[in-house]
Amino acid sequence: MWKKKKRKKPLDVCRIYTIQNRGEAFNTVGELLNAMSENFPKFLNTSARKGFEEAGFSPLVIDELIAATTQVNYGQAPSEIHKFVGKFIVNFIYLTPSAISRN
């Protein structure tokens, strides 16, 4: 049985919806990412693999779960994509309640 865990605050990437609803516009992708989270622009300078390693993910999890997802969805390995994309994958594919189909 899967249990849904309630989050105390929205994910940083979900802030995009608040920004869109306010009608805000940005000149660069970096400005948009910074509005969502001050950490996001930094994620463009790190590979997803390195980011997951720094976050404490085991090489097995990176190679088996995350690499499979990045290969299917993006046609790339975790070492070839930005940490931002990796964060997006984990937040929206593995951790969101909508990804859990069993109750």
CA distance 61 to 67: 8
CA pair distance 75, 3, nearest whole angstrom: 31
How does pLDDT run across 22-71, given as a tens digit for each residue?
Answer: 999 999 988 988 988 888 888 889 999 999 899 898 999 888 888 888 88
**Is the entire prediction scored with pTM above 0.75?**
no
Bridge partners (DSSP) listed for residue 82: 47
Mean pLDDT of the chain: 79
Is pLDDT of 1 > 50?
no
